[in-house]
A and B are shown apart, each in its own frame.
Chain A
Amino acid sequence: MLTAQGLEVVYRDVLIGLRGVSLQVRTGTIVAVLGSNGAGKTTMLRALTGLLDVHKGKVTKGSVDFEGTRLDRMDASAIVRAGIGQVMEGRRIFPALTVDENLRTGAYTVRSKAKIRENYDRVLELFPKLVDRRTSTAGYLSGGEQQMVAIGRALMSSPRLLLLDEPSLGLAPLIVEQITGIIREVNAQGTSVVLVEQNATMALSLADHGYILENGRVVKDGPAADLLADKDIQEFYLGVGDAGRKSFRDVKTYRRRKRWSS
């Protein structure tokens, strides 16, 4: 459904964000993208959704293909129209607007009133909690509810592919569990999902396939179950050591180096 090949992204003509990332999403699946801070996860999403301009970034190499159309030359608006919805990092709802208005912003690209109505009902069905909050100012909602608004807003354009950037960020474990359930439900209703996460346990338990990004490169990818079982990944991303907790002395992260004389 979506194929990105050799994506290279440069910010402000100097800063390299991605160094050749390839990624594939099959129709109906959930793909997890893991990586630590600054690995290039968000940059990759921006490259897929056309939001690089805002950050003075550019795709300098590679291509993105979505069901036969090339996305890397299109602007954000056209990409939403093509059927890709996204939930941005940190929710990014419009705090001064009401919940209803926030949802309506998501339907901006939808022309048919009936379709908007249908999507709106579907979103409220997914998030019964929002029903009573429809006329509240979105900025005053709790973090979990705001995340629901953000996901609901993205669903209002009836996307065939939904990109989620760290939906678990800053939420309590119980709420994260709810969000996980919702993502599974959305996927079951026929929307493919790309899930970018730092919470590796959550992401891999949901996903069919996983990619690990480091320094703007894909360093590993495979079926989610394999990744979950992988020794290195368990150690680096899931916090599971070989024999319980490791002493920090054994983890040698740098080498002493003489700098001024060699």
Chain B
Amino acid sequence: MTEFLQLMVSGVSLGFTYALVALGFVIIYKATEVINFSQGGLVMIGAYLVYNFTSTWGLPFALSVVLGMLATAGIGLIFERIILRRMVGAPVFAQVMITIGLLFILQNLVTAIWGPDPLNLGDPWGVSTVTFGEVVIQVRQLWGMGLTLFVLLLFFLFFRFTPLGLAMRATAIDQEAALAQGMSSKRVYMAAWGIAGATAALAGVSIASGAASLSPEVQFYALLAFPAIILGGIDSPLGAVIGGLVIGITQSLTAGYIGDIAPWLGAGFESVMPFVVMVLVLLVRPYGLFGTPEIKRV
């Protein structure tokens, strides 16, 4: 039982991290219908920027995180303003290829500046843990979950109650009709990339905190967040969170029990499992768990 709880806790924590990464994908997809493959790169550079602020410049950690989020949001804005804005109306395929190109640029930028070796992010949590009963939880996992929940709350409030949030939803549904209401698509696209950048940096912090876990590998979390968004429905923020949790828990439980149940599947099967779950869900619900099928009267 303790083992199960332990696995669940790390699964949920991992799931929240995936959720943060997935939210970045979802928000850009919802606004611009582009799957932004450079999201992993934004996650990575966000984490490195925070490292730069806190370890190299010696700023307080909390301030560094905020600065890192702002800076990564800025990178997102620059991508949108300089490159993707010009591609509006171009085939989606071309836009997706451009985001892959941006990913490569970010990868090389990071290794050129900070090198390929693992670094300490410089977070105050380190490897300290707290114990509930017999379940051991890392402090950084608790912080990661708390911050994700906070961001989710902000997302909810933003989309529900602010004019810009409403404009983003309206533009996602019908761009021309949104324009006719006086909404500016440009502002909506910029907001989407900015928000995606900020959440990416936070996700980067949550992934790279702990001992020597800041390395260019951080970007590959984005690939594993992929089944999460597809599973949750690519245009649904709630789906991203649920999808992230499903994938996180699946991965954690698979890693814990696969040796006992089906050792012939081999070590490392937990990174395959998310994709298995994704395929199974898509067979039943082709638009994901929470994706919107078109709303129509019948």
- CB neighbours (8 Å) of A137 from chain B are 295
**Interface: A106 (CB within 8 A):** yes
Asked if B295 and A76 make an inter-chain contact with CB atoms under 8 angstroms apart, the answer reads: no
Asked if A81 and B182 make an inter-chain contact with CB atoms under 8 angstroms apart, the answer reads: yes
- CB neighbours (8 Å) of B182 from chain A are 76-77, 79-81, 108-109, 157
> Contacts A139-B295, A139-B296, A140-B297 given: A92-B183 contact, CB under 8 Å?
no
Number of interface residues of B (CB under 8 A): 22
For residue B164, give the distance in angstroms from its CB to the closest CB of chain A.
Answer: 9
Asked if A108 and B167 make an inter-chain contact with CB atoms under 8 angstroms apart, the answer reads: yes
**17 A-B Cβ contacts within 8 A?**
A51-B176, A86-B180, A94-B174, A94-B177, A95-B294, A96-B169, A96-B292, A96-B295, A97-B166, A105-B170, A105-B178, A105-B183, A108-B182, A108-B183, A109-B182, A139-B296, A142-B297
Name the residue of chain A whose CB is nearest to the CB of B176.
A54
For residue A144, give the distance in angstroms from its CB to the closest CB of chain B.
Answer: 12
- CB neighbours (8 Å) of A92 from chain B are 174, 176-177, 180
For residue A41, give the distance in angstroms from its CB to the closest CB of chain B.
Answer: 16
Asked if A105 and B166 make an inter-chain contact with CB atoms under 8 angstroms apart, the answer reads: yes
For residue A89, give the distance in angstroms from its CB to the closest CB of chain B.
Answer: 11
**Interface: B94 (CB within 8 A):** no
For residue A94, give the distance in angstroms from its CB to the closest CB of chain B.
Answer: 5
Q: Please classify the interface of chain B as helix (H, G, I), strand (E, B), loop, or mixed, using the class held by over half of its residues.
A: helix
**Interface: A196 (CB within 8 A):** no
> Contacts A51-B180, A77-B184, A88-B180 given: A94-B170 contact, CB under 8 Å?
yes
> Contacts A108-B163, A108-B166, A139-B295 given: A96-B183 contact, CB under 8 Å?
no
- Bound complex: CA of A36 vs CA of B169, how far in Å? 35
Interface residues of B in 137-183 (CB under 8 A from A): 163, 166-167, 169-170, 173-183
- CB neighbours (8 Å) of B169 from chain A are 94, 96-97, 101
- CB neighbours (8 Å) of B178 from chain A are 94, 105
- Bound complex: CA of A236 vs CA of B55, how far in Å? 80
B181 CB contact (under 8 Å) in A96, A108, A139:
A108
For residue B249, give the distance in angstroms from its CB to the closest CB of chain A.
Answer: 29
**Interface: A104 (CB within 8 A):** yes
Asked if A93 and B181 make an inter-chain contact with CB atoms under 8 angstroms apart, the answer reads: no
Name the residue of chain B whose CB is nearest to the CB of A54.
B176
> Contacts A77-B182, A108-B183 given: A97-B177 contact, CB under 8 Å?
no
Name the residue of chain A whose CB is nearest to the CB of B164.
A108
Name the residue of chain A whose CB is nearest to the CB of B173.
A94
Asked if A77 and B295 make an inter-chain contact with CB atoms under 8 angstroms apart, the answer reads: no
Asked if A105 and B176 make an inter-chain contact with CB atoms under 8 angstroms apart, the answer reads: no
Name the residue of chain B whose CB is nearest to the CB of A76.
B179
Question: B residues within 8 Å of A by Cβ?
Answer: 163, 166-167, 169-170, 173-184, 292, 294-297
Interface residue range, chain A: 20 to 34
**Interface: A153 (CB within 8 A):** yes
A51-B176, A54-B179 known, 8 other contacts, Cβ within 8 Å? A54-B176, A81-B182, A94-B173, A95-B173, A96-B169, A101-B166, A101-B169, A105-B183
- Bound complex: CA of A79 vs CA of B174, how far in Å? 19
> Contacts A105-B167, A108-B163 given: A88-B183 contact, CB under 8 Å?
no
Asked if B183 and A77 make an inter-chain contact with CB atoms under 8 angstroms apart, the answer reads: yes
Name the residue of chain B whose CB is nearest to the CB of A78.
B182
**Interface: A63 (CB within 8 A):** no
- Bound complex: CA of A225 vs CA of B148, how far in Å? 65
> Contacts A49-B180, A108-B182 given: A54-B170 contact, CB under 8 Å?
no
- Bound complex: CA of A93 vs CA of B174, how far in Å? 8
Name the residue of chain B whose CB is nearest to the CB of A56.
B89
Asked if B173 and A88 make an inter-chain contact with CB atoms under 8 angstroms apart, the answer reads: no
A51 CB contact (under 8 Å) in B167, B179, B183:
B179
For residue B26, give the distance in angstroms from its CB to the closest CB of chain A.
Answer: 15
Name the residue of chain A whose CB is nearest to the CB of B294.
A95
Interface residues of A in 62-83 (CB under 8 A from B): 75-77, 79-81
For residue A108, give the distance in angstroms from its CB to the closest CB of chain B.
Answer: 5
Asked if B173 and A97 make an inter-chain contact with CB atoms under 8 angstroms apart, the answer reads: yes
- CB neighbours (8 Å) of B163 from chain A are 104, 108
- Bound complex: CA of A44 vs CA of B157, how far in Å? 39
- Bound complex: CA of A153 vs CA of B180, how far in Å? 10
- Counting chain A CB atoms within 10 Å of each CB, which of B169, B173, B296 scores highest? B173
- Counting chain A CB atoms within 10 Å of each CB, which of B169, B181, B296 scores highest? B181
Name the residue of chain B whose CB is nearest to the CB of A75.
B184
> Contacts A76-B182, A105-B183, A139-B295 given: A96-B173 contact, CB under 8 Å?
yes
- Bound complex: CA of A80 vs CA of B176, how far in Å? 13
